[in-house]
Structure formats: C-alpha cells, structure tokens
Amino acid sequence: MKKSILLILTLAIYLFVIPSCKKKKGCTDPISIKYDSDAEEDDGTCEYAGTGGSTTLVALPKHHGAAIISSATYLDSAYIKFNTQDSPGSDPASYDLVLAGEEGEDHVHIPDMKPGKYYIRMTGFDTSISERVVGGIPYTLTQSSGEVDVNVPVTE
C-alpha cells in the first residue's frame, strides 16, 4: 500500500510539477524586432537593426507634405540610429550611420538594412522659404528585402 501511494505521488510530480517548471523560450530583449513579451528564457532568436541586410530604405524629407530637393549647396542628409525608437538628438556623432543625398533628388538611399527598430533624422533646405528644415521619426523595418519608402516630416 505504501509503495502504491509513493508511486502515485511520484507519478503526479512527474506529470504535473516538472512540466510546469519549463520556461517559455524566445527573444527576451525588447530592443529586438523578434521580442516576445511572454518569453522567460532567451533562445538566441533576437534580431537587431543595422547594416548587412537586403533592404534599401528610401528616406523622403517632406515639409508640410512637399518634397525637399537636394541642392548643390545643401544636400539632404539622413542620420540613422539603430535599435531605438527615440531620438538621440542633433549631434551627428550620436548616430550609427550618416548619409547624404544626391543633387536634384528628393530622397536619400539607405542601403543594406536589416529588419529592426530605427530612428531616422533628416535635414534639408526648403528653397520655397529659404530655410533649413529638420525632423525625424521612429521607424520599424519588418521587410527583409527590396525597397521601402519612408516619409520623414521636417520643419523649420
């Protein structure tokens, strides 16, 4: 009788207690695009923003909806911070990547990006008001290849 009770208790522990001790695995880093808020144990599946991917962002500075065209004297510029949705400020040294547009174009190509979280800041010169314009937005890239247009509102 004692052996039967011991066997039943052992079996109950094995069936109910041990399985409940297993932690849900997944990405536990909220900075990652693969973040799983239910995960209790990191399984190495986290993915981070940055270069080395196959997507080109086409950043388009827009002042009140109008395109800002790069001029020879003031090229549009894009400042990109990886793995954040917050602005790091106006100092170019605070960004991970800085790129200039081409004269006569209304955009800046940001090539070879991985899926992830970014903050994109842009500057340009609006010839209709003869003033420098600047602005930025948080952006989450989910696409893993191709080209994506990103409108970045700028203001004086």
For 17-37, the pLDDT digits (tens) are 555 568 899 999 999 999 999
For 28-75, the pLDDT digits (tens) are 999 999 999 999 999 999 999 999 999 999 999 999 999 999 999 999
Query: Do 99 and 78 touch, CB atoms closer than 8 A?
Result: yes
User: Which value, in Å, is the radius of gyration of the alpha carbons in the chain?
Assistant: 25
Q: How many CB atoms lie within 10 A of CB 93?
A: 8
Q: How far, in Å, CA of 97 to CA of 2, rounded?
A: 71
Burial zone of 22 (CB within 10 Å; 0-12 exposed, 13-18 middle, 19+ buried): exposed
* The CATH fold of domain 51-154: Immunoglobulin-like (2.60.40)
For 73-131, the pLDDT digits (tens) are 999 999 999 999 999 999 999 999 999 999 999 999 999 999 999 999 999 999 999 99
pTM of the model: 0.83
